[in-house]
Amino acid sequence: MTEFFGNTETLHEIPVIRGFLDPVQQQELRNDLREVARIAPPFSPMTGWGKPMSVQITAAGQFCWYSDRKGYRYIEAHPQTGAAFPAIPALALAAWRAFETRVDPDCCLINHYREGARMGLHQDRDEADFGYPVVSISLGDPALFRIGGVERKAPTRSFWLESGDVMALQGDQRLAFHGIDRIKFGQSALLQKGGRLNLTLRRVAP
Ligand code: MD3
Ligand code: FE
């Protein structure tokens, strides 16, 4: 049994810790992420249709998700610099450890949503072991999150994720279709140019 602290809510069976990061911690994590972005500049992966995604991504940890005309996969070196990705920030590791203590994550994928950016419904299934959760941390502007079932046609449910919220996807939900429909741009002052950062902590290797 996981012990939660903070305001834990179970929204549609999904554990969400509202305000897991307080405002000062959100600033600390944001500062760490600026350093990550300096070492590993964000880029826009290609969709399956040959159009760049509206979200920019980068990563901390051993692995980063990547997509080009050859398909999608996890990579261990930055596509432009060839350098390894920087270490996962301490507060991100703390969020993972609130849900999973057997092993630490080897990937902290960082998604940056500018005004109008969205993420279509998809599954995350490029990791070796679906027995580990995916833990998400939201920073900056609120996002309307949508989650359905393991089949694309299953009905979906939606709720808002706000800055400081942490959510875990595990068990039956680990292979559920999910996405981000929209961002309430300009609501939060955390990020200089507005928008939203989402961190997903993952275990990519077995
Ligand atoms: C449900 N990111 O990076 S995080 C992704 O807010 C991704 O940027 C979204 O989907 C974002 O792949 C949603 C929440 C999330 C992450 C992983 C999941 C939900 C999930 C894996 C399985 C089911
Ligand atoms: Fe996903």
- Residue 55 Cα, ligand 1 centroid: separation in angstroms? 13
Residues with CB under 6 A from ligand 1: 109, 111, 119, 124, 134, 136, 143, 147, 169, 173-174, 176, 178, 180, 198, 200
Q: Which ligand is nearest to the CA of 132?
A: 1
Tell me the per-residue pLDDT of 165-206, one tens digit each, with 9 for 90 and over: 999 999 989 999 999 999 999 999 999 999 999 999 999 999
Q: What pLDDT does residue 2 have?
A: 45
Residue 8 pLDDT level (bands cut at 50, 70, 90): low
Residue 3 has pLDDT above 60, yes or no: no
**Domains defined for the chain, CATH in brackets:** 2-202 (2.60.120.590)
Q: How many CB atoms lie within 10 A of CB 80?
A: 9
Which residue's C-alpha comes closest to atom 7 of ligand 1?
179
Closest residue by Cα to residue 133 from 166, 157, 182, 110 = 166
